[in-house]
């Protein structure tokens, strides 16, 4: 299946936006003060998120927007599949909250956060612009991140190590349709939970972890990515792609997967001492909801 290409006219418009941002232009909202500046922030050195799949109903946009409003970081890595071009080609879906997320990221970049966008397979059209800047956002094919304690981490989306995506694109698209069906079930399931006052819980992630073949694929993928990073002289690797948040050791190599915002709603963060941690934002939301219910019943 042919990959869609960005036209020359679109490229020109993108460059105009970048030029406007560089000279202090852009829309008014980009320069307006945040309404939530009073929020207590979680301050970290670096944040890694991937697989938000904006443009699909499966994106947990409210949780993602809440996370971006709460976090304060020096560098934000967008590790691929941020915008789901595959799904948008089949039909347009872009609610207001998805727009809010894009605006939030652009404002973070405008206020001094270094934002690096590493395209994945679902937003592969942006790979035509690797090495360029979209306003204040850098587009890179991969990155080498140095932690506060001196470790070198290779940062990439990870579809480079997925044989289905590389060698059987028709099967990848077929799997994407099946996965979309599972995510619709997940959406209906959580709509019912909200009706009973219950917080988000991923049915799709629960089912995937109990399918033997999926577990074996994830294990092989993690090992292949870690070994490739070692061959390149890195001390570890950060990726996304498989929607499975994890921190594992492979023969002295550390493998980090930041998860996704469709099932697990997780992010990987680096603290100012170089320590790495996975934040489970869905679990945090459940804890907040539980405390609110306890206070209401007190």
**Given this model, what pLDDT does residue 26 score?**
66
The whole-number average pLDDT for the span 231-240 is: 92
**Given this model, what pLDDT does residue 173 score?**
45
Pick 170 or 71 by higher pLDDT: 71
pLDDT digits (tens, 9 = 90+) for 57-110: 989 999 999 999 999 999 999 999 999 998 888 888 999 999 999 999 999 999
Helix, strand, or coil here: 239? Answer: strand
d(CA 117, CA 72): 17
By DSSP bridging, strand 42-49 and strand 143-146 are: unpaired
d(CA 214, CA 229): 23
Q: At what angle do helices 281-297 and 61-70 cross, to 10 degrees?
A: 90
Task: Indicate whether 203 pLDDT > 80.
Answer: no
**Would you say 85 and 122 are in contact if contact means Cβ atoms under 8 Å apart?**
yes
pLDDT digits (tens, 9 = 90+) for 250-280: 888 899 999 999 988 999 999 999 999 999 9
**Would you say 165 and 240 are in contact if contact means Cβ atoms under 8 Å apart?**
no
Rg (the chain; Cα; Å): 19
**Would you say 129 and 141 are in contact if contact means Cβ atoms under 8 Å apart?**
no
Q: What is the mean pLDDT of the chain?
A: 80
Which residue(s) pair with 270 in the sheet? 46, 276
Residue owning tokens 């937003």: 123
Domains of the chain: 8-297 (3.60.21.10)
37 falls in which pLDDT band (50, 70, 90)?
Answer: low
Q: Report DSSP state, residue 83.
A: B
By DSSP bridging, strand 114-117 and strand 71-78 are: parallel
């Amino acid at each position: 299946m042919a990959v869609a290409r960005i036209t020359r006219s679109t490229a020109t418009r993108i460059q105009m936006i970048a030029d406007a941002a560089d000279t202090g232009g852009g829309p008014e909202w980009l320069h307006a003060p945040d309404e939530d500046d009073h929020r207590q922030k979680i301050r970290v050195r670096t944040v890694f998120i991937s697989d938000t799949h904006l443009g699909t109903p499966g994106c947990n946009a409210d949780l993602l927007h809440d996370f971006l409003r709460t976090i304060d970081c020096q560098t934000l890595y967008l590790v691929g599949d941020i915008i789901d071009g595959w799904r948008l080609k089949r039909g347009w879906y872009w609610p207001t909250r998805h727009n809010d997320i894009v605006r939030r990221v652009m404002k973070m970049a405008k206020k001094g956060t270094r934002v690096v966008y590493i395209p994945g397979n679902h937003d592969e059209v942006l790979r035509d612009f690797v090495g360029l800047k979209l306003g204040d956002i850098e587009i890179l094919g991969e990155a080498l991140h140095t932690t506060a304690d001196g470790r070198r981490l290779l940062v990439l989306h990870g579809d480079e190590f997925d044989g289905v995506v590389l060698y059987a694109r028709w099967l990848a698209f077929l799997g994407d349709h099946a996965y979309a069906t599972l995510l619709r079930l997940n959406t209906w399931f959580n709509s019912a939970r909200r009706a009973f006052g219950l917080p988000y819980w991923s049915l799709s992630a629960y089912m995937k972890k109990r399918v033997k073949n999926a577990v074996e694929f994830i294990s092989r993928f993690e090992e292949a990515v870690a070994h490739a990073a070692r061959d390149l002289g890195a001390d570890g690797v950060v990726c996304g792609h498989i929607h499975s948040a994890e921190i594992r050791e492979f023969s002295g190599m550390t493998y980090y997967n930041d998860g996704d915002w469709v099932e697990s709603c997780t992010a990987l963060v680096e603290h100012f001492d170089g320590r790495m941690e996975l934040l489970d934002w869905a679990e945090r939301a459940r804890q907040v909801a539980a405390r609110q219910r306890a206070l209401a019943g007190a």
